[in-house]
Structure 1
């Protein structure tokens, strides 16, 4: 799937407002995905974090990466209902997002092992191509009983 609409995004991701964070998919294949998120002052997370200096919560940037890699996982497996976030291996923050900023997220599936562990890495840059966060994280592919 190349550049996708919001309706296509909703067909793949299971999250809904306010936790549906991906606004646009620029490019995706079975290994890499690039997405866009637009930050606005009406975002409920901006209004409560923090009163006099609204910034987007850092932990939600990790969620944005996990949602973004879901498009590669969907391309690879055809479904993502049995894939869960497991751990953050390494994460560095270099800045923050405020209303009016635009995030471009690039995520990659680094490897999948026999136990269903999916090793991923990603980074998010702002509209000026400044790196804001980079992270290695692990998902797990497992059917719930």
Structure 2
């Protein structure tokens, strides 16, 4: 298990837009990470007051950040360049742990194709194919 400090060493994102709290496993082509969704998250002041639902777009971004943790070299900035076949299966409400799972399914030059899924309590919440690349600094 790797903590937020490890995450910040791998990707340039910072609060309030760092959407990965820790990494539970990482290999050559796969990574698993998580985000603890809490009731006091600032996003719930506007989405939706009185009925907090974690935005699907932030789940997709958390998956892309997890891909960045797996793929990035130091000194690069991740660029999220595409989403294919995104499906939102369940509503994500606090408090819960959102678990991200990504797997590299292809690479062409500097473009990586990622199979991405997110789960809450073992139930599929989101699935998509993501396209990511990086910008040398």
Question: Which stretches in structure 2 are left out of the alignment for 5+ residues?
Answer: none
Q: Which residue of 2 aligns with 1:48?
A: 46
Q: 2:115 aligns with which of 116, 121, 136?
A: 121
Give the TM-score normalised by structure 2: 0.92
What do you get for the CA RMSD once the two structures are aligned?
1.5
Deviation at 1:89, TM superposition (A): 1.2
Residue-pair matches, total: 137
Give the TM-score normalised by structure 1: 0.87
Q: CA–CA distance in 2 between the matches of 1:19 and 1:102?
A: 17
| 1:23-53 deviation per Cα after TM superposition (whole angstroms, max 9, x unaligned) | 1100002211001111111111122100121
Listed as ranges, the matches of 1:1-145 within 5 Å are 3-74=1-72, 78-79=73-74, 81-114=76-109, 116-127=110-121, 129-143=122-136
Question: Aligned pair in 2 of structure 1 residues 142, 13: CA closer, same or farther (>3 Å)?
Answer: closer
Question: Aligned pair in 2 of structure 1 residues 80, 35: CA closer, same or farther (>3 Å)?
Answer: farther
| 1:90-131 deviation per Cα after TM superposition (whole angstroms, max 9, x unaligned) | 1000112111111111001111113x221111101102x110
| Structure ranking higher in strand proportion | 2
